[in-house]
């Protein structure tokens, strides 16, 4: 959840580290810090955004040198303060460390180190790890890191440097992402490729329990060595990054969230490209082709995720049951991992995650894989942990998502899950003509989305009328119940308005007591099998003084008699309607946050990739 960036090479480290931190700030922005070595170790830490650290460094001498590390924090242990910010250090041996993750046995290690004479100045688990490495250091930083990590329980991605070994940077990971960029006589290490792509496109990922020693000799030549915690050499696979720098720049947009909402038509065309043939009623998904027979014979699908990915997984459940006629259920990964789930023969688990690193989802996936389930991943980030640990999977191909509140990744997940369901349905019972019709509609989704995006100014004007209200309801039925959940989540994530999503009929069973004069209720009321039922629910809200905002199908004039304001979406078959109905709700949330003066891309208390429990 925090941002890690480190550098070893032939250039000044400080500007590269600061640039990297700015690109990673969406991963955490409580505090930031930097450490460099040029003869001596220098560390600077500040509370707040990366800009505060940058301003502080302008006033300080030093911080030169071609090796360093930096960090932007999302607090897990200890309050937001300078003493809890990273890097953490041990001055006795000149060691500095940055860390993403949680050390579960830090309390016992802390007591052991106190008995050894170490004095702690922070409340963090990370400082314990820095002190432990220092305690075990005998002139070989790599060995000290390996030895220390063998004593650690928990998750970590770390970068460590030492004043006594100024040409060495040691990095390691277990459960938290870490990527090593290999450039021309330099290395750039980061928790996300967005901090690397400006410098090199050649990278490798560390697997769990692996350590990399990055070295520079007196002539400036660089080498790297990777090993296990037991010092067994391993050979990483270097790959090419699949996105360009321009994809993580704002361009003409004011926020990354708005940019990514507007990118959805183009991104979903990439998701579809080469995978759909509507003429033949055929879907080509190379990532799962080897397991087609197992998927067709599956007795049960279990879909799991957290947050927005969970809502996409719910739609995957609906697709599988409705289109492929196979039993499916959706589980919160954080609950599934600690239950004792029954895994019947021929069970398939689908793990849904934007980053592919979500800690709870990864743990749930491992638990069900251990029990014999076939595992599939639906993720966006190539080379992520879920993509490496599943038996097969499908990438979203929507490009890097920088905004903390997920938008294009959600629609990418929904589209991929629809394709997987149709892939199975076509092989089980669905005719070529029916499949071709569905694929034709799926292919038109990007074009239809573009029509919805043209309503952005109208949605903003509607939002202005309600943005001061602190309680909202989002209501939908059938396929659009998960859309209601997602709309409510988006609004509360970035505008801090209390919003509750639920099935429209459930409103009568308690939440109707909340409705008072002027309370906004957003109904997903597109034409579908339950349209008339939704109209009844709208009447129930109106009769109690609520204000109705409806997402309706183009051409529906009747809805204007029921709703105070209407956002229209083009007609499409009911199963695919969530790909369209969610877009006005994304725009609504983004405009609400801007109107309330909030930082859309960096909402309080949230980080992009949740790699801790």
Chain segment 307-357, per-residue pLDDT in tens: 999 999 999 999 999 999 999 999 999 999 888 888 899 999 999 999 888
Q: What local confidence, expressed as pLDDT, does residue 602 receive? A: 83
Closest CA to 119 of 103, 135, 105: 135
Q: Quick one: average pLDDT of 538-552? A: 92
φ/ψ of 555, rounded to 5, equals 95, -10
Can you say whether residue 458 is alpha, beta or left, with left for phi > 0 and alpha for psi between -120 and 50 degrees?
Answer: alpha
pLDDT over 90 (residue 213): yes
Residue 283 and residue 338 in one domain: yes
CA angle 342, 344, 349 (to 5 degrees): 85
Residue 444 and residue 472 in one domain: no
Residue 237 and residue 297 in one domain: no
Residue 276 and residue 213 in one domain: no
10 Å CB burial of residue 278 (0-12, 13-18, 19+) is middle
Q: Is residue 590 part of a domain?
A: yes
Residue 78 and residue 19 in one domain: yes
Q: Is residue 163 part of a domain?
A: yes
Task: State the CATH number of the domain containing residue 229.
Answer: 3.60.20.10
Residue 14 and residue 58 in one domain: yes
CB distance 608 to 25 below 8 Å: no
Residue 182 and residue 265 in one domain: no
Q: What local confidence, expressed as pLDDT, does residue 456 receive? A: 97
Q: Quick one: average pLDDT of 48-74? A: 91
| Cβ partners under 8 Å of residue 92, min gap 6 | 134
Per the structure, the count of domains in the chain is: 3
CB distance 177 to 611 below 8 Å: yes
What number of residues does the chain have?
A: 613
Q: What local confidence, expressed as pLDDT, does residue 1 receive? A: 60
Residue 171 and residue 266 in one domain: no
Q: What local confidence, expressed as pLDDT, does residue 611 receive? A: 57
Q: Which two tokens stand for residue 105?
A: 């046995």
CB distance 540 to 508 below 8 Å: yes
pLDDT over 80 (residue 243): no
3-state percent breakdown (helix, strand, coil) of the chain, nearest 5: 40, 25, 35
Residue 468 and residue 554 in one domain: yes
Beta bridge partners of 6: 69, 189
CB distance 13 to 65 below 8 Å: yes
Report in angstroms the alpha-carbon separations of 107 from 103, 110, 435: 9, 5, 57
- Among 98-102, 203-207, 320-324, top mean pLDDT goes to 320-324
Report in angstroms the alpha-carbon separations of 432 from 296, 320, 322, 423, 574: 16, 18, 17, 11, 19
Q: Is residue 605 part of a domain?
A: no
Q: What local confidence, expressed as pLDDT, does residue 397 receive? A: 92
* Residue found by looking up tokens 């000799």 in the block: 217
DSSP string for 279-336: TTTEE--TTTGGGHHHHHH-SEEEEEESTHHHHHHHHHHHHHHHTS---EEEEEHHHH
Q: Is residue 606 part of a domain?
A: no
Integer Cα distance of 225 and 203 in angstroms: 14
Residue 154 and residue 195 in one domain: yes
Q: What local confidence, expressed as pLDDT, does residue 157 receive? A: 92
pLDDT over 80 (residue 430): yes
- Residues 106-138 pLDDT 10s: 999 999 999 999 999 998 889 999 999 999 999
Q: Quick one: average pLDDT of 147-155? A: 93
Q: What residues make up the domain containing 431?
A: 250-453
CB distance 577 to 584 below 8 Å: no
- Among 92-96, 189-193, 458-462, top mean pLDDT goes to 458-462
pLDDT over 70 (residue 244): no
Integer Cα distance of 479 and 306 in angstroms: 19
Integer Cα distance of 465 and 579 in angstroms: 26
Residue 231 and residue 309 in one domain: no
Q: What local confidence, expressed as pLDDT, does residue 11 receive? A: 95
The last residue of a domain, from among 241, 264, 290 = 241
CB distance 568 to 434 below 8 Å: no
- Residues 31-45 pLDDT 10s: 899 999 998 999 999
CB distance 584 to 549 below 8 Å: no
pLDDT band of residue 407 (cuts 50, 70, 90) is: very high
Torsion of CA 274, 416, 157, 242, to 10 degrees: 20
- Catalytic residue numbers, as ranges: 2, 608
Q: What local confidence, expressed as pLDDT, does residue 563 receive? A: 95
Q: What is the DSSP letter of 87?
A: P
pLDDT band of residue 400 (cuts 50, 70, 90) is: confident
Q: Quick one: average pLDDT of 579-585? A: 98
Q: Is residue 608 part of a domain?
A: no
Can you say whether residue 610 is alpha, beta or left, with left for phi > 0 and alpha for psi between -120 and 50 degrees?
Answer: beta
Beta bridge partners of 8: 67, 187
pLDDT over 80 (residue 74): no
Q: Is residue 13 part of a domain?
A: yes
The last residue of a domain, from among 453, 473, 490 = 453
Q: Quick one: average pLDDT of 447-476? A: 96
pLDDT over 70 (residue 498): yes
- For strands 520-524 and 471-476, give the pairing: parallel
Integer Cα distance of 574 and 558 in angstroms: 19
- For strands 300-305 and 328-332, give the pairing: parallel
CB distance 326 to 428 below 8 Å: yes
pLDDT band of residue 506 (cuts 50, 70, 90) is: confident
Q: Which two tokens stand for residue 476?
A: 């939908």
How much is the mean pLDDT over the chain?
A: 92
pLDDT band of residue 547 (cuts 50, 70, 90) is: very high
Task: State the CATH number of the domain containing residue 288.
Answer: 3.40.50.10490
| Cβ partners under 8 Å of residue 370, min gap 6 | none
Q: Is residue 447 part of a domain?
A: yes
Q: Is residue 476 part of a domain?
A: yes
CB distance 377 to 351 below 8 Å: yes
Residue 409 and residue 517 in one domain: no
The last residue of a domain, from among 413, 438, 453 = 453
Integer Cα distance of 350 and 275 in angstroms: 19
Q: Quick one: average pLDDT of 445-466? A: 97
Beta bridge partners of 475: 502, 523
Q: What local confidence, expressed as pLDDT, does residue 246 receive? A: 65
pLDDT band of residue 609 (cuts 50, 70, 90) is: low
Q: Whole-prediction pTM value?
A: 0.82
Integer Cα distance of 584 and 595 in angstroms: 16
pLDDT over 80 (residue 146): yes
């Amino acid at each position: 959840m925090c941002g890690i960036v480190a550098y070893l090479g032939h250039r000044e480290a400080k500007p590269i580290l600061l640039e990297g931190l700015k690109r990673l700030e969406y991963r955490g922005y409580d505090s930031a810090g930097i450490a460099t070595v040029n003869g001596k170790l220098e560390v600077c830490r500040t509370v707040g955004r990366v800009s505060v650290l940058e301003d502080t460094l302008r006033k300080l001498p030093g911080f030169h040198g071609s090796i360093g590390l930096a960090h932007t924090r999302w607090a897990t242990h200890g309050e937001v303060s300078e003493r809890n910010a990273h890097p953490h250090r041990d001055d006795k041996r000149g060691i500095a460390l940055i860390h993403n993750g949680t050390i579960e046995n830090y309390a016992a290690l802390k007591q052991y180190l106190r008995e050894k004479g170490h004095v702690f100045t922070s409340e963090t688990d990370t400082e314990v790890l820095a002190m432990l490495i220092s305690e075990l250091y005998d002139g070989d930083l790599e060995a000290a890191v390996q030895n220390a990590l063998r004593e650690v329980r928990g998750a970590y991605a770390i970068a460590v440097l030492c004043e006594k070994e100024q040409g060495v940077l040691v990095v390691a990971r277990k459960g938290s992402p870490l990527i090593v960029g290999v450039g021309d006589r330099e290395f750039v290490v980061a928790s996300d490729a967005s901090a690397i792509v400006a410098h090199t496109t050649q990278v490798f990922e560390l697997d769990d329990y692996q350590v990399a020693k990055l070295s520079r000799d007196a002539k400036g030549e660089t080498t790297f060595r990777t090993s296990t915690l037991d010092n067994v050499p391993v050979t990483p696979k270097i790959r090419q990054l699949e996105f360009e720098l321009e994809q993580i720049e704002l361009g003409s947009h004011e926020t990354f969230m708005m940019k990514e909402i507007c990118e959805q038509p183009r991104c979903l065309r990439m998701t579809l490209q080469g995978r759909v043939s509507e003429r033949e009623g055929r879907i080509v998904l190379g990532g799962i082709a080897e397991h087609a027979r197992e998927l067709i014979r599956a007795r049960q699908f279990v879909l799991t995720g957290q947050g927005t990915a969970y809502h996409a997984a719910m739609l995957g459940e609906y697709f599988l049951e409705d289109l492929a006629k196979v039993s499916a259920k959706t589980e919160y990964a954080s609950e599934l991992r600690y239950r004792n789930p029954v895994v019947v023969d021929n069970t398939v688990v689908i793990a849904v995650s934007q980053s592919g690193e979500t800690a709870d989802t990864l743990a749930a996936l491992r638990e069900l894989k251990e029990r014999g389930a076939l595992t599939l991943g639906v993720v966006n980030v190539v080379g992520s942990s879920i993509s490496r640990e599943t038996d097969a999977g499908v990438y979203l191909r929507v490009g890097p998502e920088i905004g903390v509140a997920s938008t294009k990744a959600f629609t990418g997940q929904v589209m991929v899950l629809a394709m997987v369901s149709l892939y199975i349905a076509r092989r089980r019972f669905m005719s070529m003509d029916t499949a071709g019709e569905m694929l034709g509609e799926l292919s038109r989704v990007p074009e239809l989305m573009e029509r919805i995006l043209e309503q952005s100014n109208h949605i903003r004007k509607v939002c202005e009328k309600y943005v001061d209200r602190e309680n909202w309801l989002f209501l939908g039925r059938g396929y659009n119940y998960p859309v209601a959940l997602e709309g409510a989540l988006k609004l509360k994530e970035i505008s801090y308005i209390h919003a509750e999503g639920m099935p429209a009929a459930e409103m009568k069973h308690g939440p109707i007591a909340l409705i008072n004069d002027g309370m906004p209720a957003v109904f997903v009321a597109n034409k579908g099998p339950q349209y008339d039922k939704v109209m009844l629910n709208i009447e129930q809200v109106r009769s109690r003084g609520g204000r109705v905002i409806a997402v309706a199908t183009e051409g529906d004039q009747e809805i204007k008699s029921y709703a105070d304001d209407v956002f229209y979406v083009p007609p499409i078959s009911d199963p695919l309607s969530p790909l369209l109905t969610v877009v006005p709700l994304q725009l609504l949330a983004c405009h609400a946050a801007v109107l309330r003066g909030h930082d859309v891309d960096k909402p309080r208390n949230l980080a992009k990739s949740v790699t801790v429990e």
